[in-house]
Amino acid sequence: MRPGAPIATDLVLLGGGHAHVEVLRRLGQRPVPGLRVTLVAREPLTPYSGLLPAVIRGEIFPAQAHIDLARLAARSRARLIMAEAEGLDLASRRVLFAERAPLPFDLLSIDVGAAPSAPEGAIAVKPIGRFLARLGEIESGLSRGGRIAVVGGGAGGVELALALARRFAGRFALVLVSDRPEILFDAPPGARRIARVALARAGVSLAIGVPATGFSCGAVCLGNGETVAADAAIWATAVVGPPFLGDAGLACDEAGFVKVAPTLESLSHAHVFAAGDCAAMEGFPRPRAGVFAVRAGPVLAENLRAAAAGRKLRSWRPQREALAILGLGEGRALAWRGAHFCLSGRWVARWKERIDARWMAMYAPGAMGAMAAEEPMRCTGCGGKVGADALVEALVPLVEPARPDILAGLAAAEDAAVSAPPPGLVLVQSVDYLRAFLDDPFLFGEITAVHALSDLYAMGAEPWTALAIAGVPYMRGEKMAEELAALMAGAARALADAGCTLTGGHSAEAAELALGFSVTGLAEPGALFSKSALRAGDRLVLTKPLGIGILLAALPRGRLGAADLGAAIAVMRQSNAIAAGLFRRHGIRAATDVTGFGLAGHLIEMLRASNVAARLDLAAIPALSGALQLAESGIESSLAPANRAVLETALGGPPLAHRAVALLVDPETSGGLLAGVGAEASGDLLSDLAAAGLGAAAIGEVFPASEGAPRLRLM
Ligand SMILES: Cc1cc2nc3c(=O)[nH]c(=O)nc-3n(C[C@H](O)[C@H](O)[C@H](O)COP(=O)(O)OP(=O)(O)OC[C@H]3O[C@@H](n4cnc5c(N)ncnc54)[C@H](O)[C@@H]3O)c2cc1C
């Protein structure tokens, strides 16, 4: 065993809101031995609401107002699951999703914000990330001179109207609609006056004193039967709690917010905590503002730490009134506290800028550099088999209906699987085994299965059966079984998509999570693809972009951004089935899949087997977003140097100084297929691959090999 404690408690942080980023930061700085932290986040980039108006005004880029949860989780040694939770099973302590296996927890902390409450046809300002994405649509959907209504006269609505007026100045008119007789109803009269002047200067008209009830036929409908003409309506009114929280049985108030004690613990479920907009502390009514979520962060971190250790929780009293600062635009801001005191001016705007910048800096990649070195969170385990019950439990839900060609599969529970191949077809077999490169066991299981099946597609075979072998690190209690179940559920999804039946499996305790498959495919003997079928004149076609090894090397170093990680995952999840089918349709015979040896290594294997040479056009090699920049900053996979040595031998010397060379030696997990295509068929094949949504490219050409000349040339 390495010194780390085995995983004893699973803490799931649901939602990457303002409180949870601080929990992550603190638990990352001082991890709790045996506590595994998993963040579940719908959006991998979480917005900081204080900077939203500056983004809308066009003063800063959206990235400057967002915290990258992939980097924060990596630095904090927390697992990140990029998915939207759709429910909770509090009795069996599981977070439920639409498209993936349930996630078990011992402790759950919820910071998912509030749910939008916009009527049909209107645009909700929440979730902020989605609203920002829709701003462009509003802009392009309206003709010049159009009118936009912002519904909601609180701080959020007023600030939003001012920011939009600035952004759309001279193009669209703005009207602010509010049910209250005054805007900023709870603010001091002086603050209301200043805000009214700012709205008038920005050209925002007011329609206040009657509630808005809906939006249809180019108008906001009001409670008194009148309407306010508007081409688009943005709803920034009171919000409600996400319905799935109350539906799960958590005690919630009448608006659906989780009722919590001063310890932030749910009043109904002792192992559940909540903070931020989605929580309501009895006796402390307060506006839904990010500042309260931010303040809750340190207390929540401390209490989650205490709950994991079975220690007493600390009580917290949020202030009744927080300082509100509202950007007026034109470099000015307005601040107030309670109903009596207010300030405004340029210096208030500078003050707000400093507060916002200080907060964002705490979660910037550089600031997190010193985190998380103390306690390795992963247990390295001891040898031995995982309990038979755990394996059976994980495999039983995967039992498929009986098939005549599977004589003994999972359902039979024999010592070995028995299957009868259809007459006239040949068996095509391969084996692959990967150490976990992602913390999400479900996604890792799915991608590993896609990766293993890739060998069959590279041979032109159809997947038939698979046997699994899994290594799971030692954890206490039920956790190993749960980890195995999530792993196998992800794999089962990919196998089912491929029409491949899982017929058996074996699991063992291991130093780290790992999964492998022995896969068997079926093919007509004359229809197999081969590495030795390249011919001079063939174009080389690659079906997926390269760079996965570089990105996966950047991930644990906290150097990989959420957007690039998301794109890499999408590529790894992509099966090669469609590409292989198109290869068959276009009569291709020479193919392989690009995996651990990198494009160069796998191509050189083909060139040797076919006794030909090739030229690669470096400018045509497709790259995953971020891969080239990371490679230039010195990030590469530990396998790259060995692959580079093979490339140098084939080139007869060092490669050109070109940035794409890093891609040639990059080991690809679940990479694409590489094929040799006759020049006349390559155009049609590329069009079909593009129509199927694959990022394929023609990357070079095959020519006759000549004695003593290099096998490979780079251009
Ligand atoms: C225009 C505008 C301006 C504002 N300006 C300010 C301001 O200047 N100062 C201020 O204090 N407040 C401001 N607010 C209010 C502020 O936005 C919220 O109070 C704040 O965002 C609440 O933080 P939170 O942590 O509770 O949730 P959020 O910040 O909403 O974060 C919730 C997170 O949970 C994730 N999530 C949600 N549902 C799920 C799910 N089912 N599964 C997985 N993940 C999920 C989301 O992706 C998100 O990352 C403003 C609001 C608006 C609309």
Q: Is 157 in the pocket of ligand 1 (CB under 6 A)?
A: no
pLDDT of residue 389: 53
Q: Does residue 565 contact residue 572 with C-beta atoms inside 8 Å?
A: no
Structure confidence by residue, pLDDT tens digits, 276-305: 999 999 887 777 888 889 999 999 999 999
Structure confidence by residue, pLDDT tens digits, 160-195: 999 999 999 888 999 999 999 999 988 999 999 999
- Which residues are within 8 A (CB) of 526 and not within 5 positions of it... i.e. 6 or more apart? none
Amino acid at 404: P
CA distances, 503 to each of 192, 396, 399, 496, 518 (Å): 70, 11, 8, 12, 10
Rounded to the nearest angstrom, the distance between the alpha carbon of 48 and the centre of ligand 1 is: 8
What is the length of the chain? 715
Q: Is 290 in the pocket of ligand 1 (CB under 6 A)?
A: yes
Rounded to the nearest angstrom, the distance between the alpha carbon of 349 and the centre of ligand 1 is: 22
Q: Is 112 in the pocket of ligand 1 (CB under 6 A)?
A: yes
pLDDT, averaged across the chain: 90
Nearest CA to ligand 1 atom 9: 50
Share of the chain above pLDDT 70, in %: 95
Q: What is the DSSP letter of 618?
A: G
Q: Is 241 in the pocket of ligand 1 (CB under 6 A)?
A: no
Q: Which two tokens stand for residue 468?
A: 């699994």
At residue 292, φ and ψ (nearest 5 deg) are: -70, -35
Q: Does residue 250 contact residue 90 with C-beta atoms inside 8 Å?
A: yes
**Active-site choice (252, 342, 379, 382):** 382
Q: Does residue 69 contact residue 59 with C-beta atoms inside 8 Å?
A: no
Rounded to the nearest angstrom, the distance between the alpha carbon of 273 and the centre of ligand 1 is: 17
pLDDT of residue 284: 79
- Which residues are within 8 A (CB) of 504 and not within 5 positions of it... i.e. 6 or more apart? 409, 410, 416, 417, 467, 468
Dihedral sign, CA of 650, 653, 654, 660?
A: negative
pLDDT of residue 413: 72
* Pairing mode, strands 426-435 and 514-523: antiparallel
Q: Which of 202, 166, 199, 167 is nearest to 183 (CA)?
A: 199
- Which residue segments constitute the domains of the chain, with CATH numbers given? 9-114+241-320 (3.50.50.60), 123-235 (3.50.50.60), 388-526 (3.30.1330.10), 530-714 (3.90.650.10)
| Distance, C-alpha 137 to centroid of its chain | 23
Q: What is the DSSP letter of 417?
A: -
> Lowest mean pLDDT: which of 15-24, 139-148, 254-263, 359-368?
359-368
- Which residues are within 8 A (CB) of 653 and not within 5 positions of it... i.e. 6 or more apart? none
Q: Averaging pLDDT over each range in 119-133, 160-174, 284-298, 412-426, which range is the top one?
A: 160-174
Query: Distance (Å, rounded) from C-alpha 45 to C-alpha 563?
Result: 8
Q: Which of 600, 464, 589 is nearest to 532 (CA)?
A: 589
- 382 catalytic? Reply is yes
Q: Which of 338, 642, 378, 630 is nearest to 514 (CA)?
A: 378
Q: Which of 50, 714, 29 is nearest to 327 (CA)?
A: 50
Look at residue 542 and tell me whether its pLDDT is greater than 50: yes
Look at residue 655 and tell me whether its pLDDT is greater than 90: no
Q: Is 49 in the pocket of ligand 1 (CB under 6 A)?
A: yes
Structure confidence by residue, pLDDT tens digits, 573-601: 999 999 999 999 999 999 999 999 999 99
Nearest CA to ligand 1 atom 3: 156
Look at residue 333 and tell me whether its pLDDT is greater than 50: yes
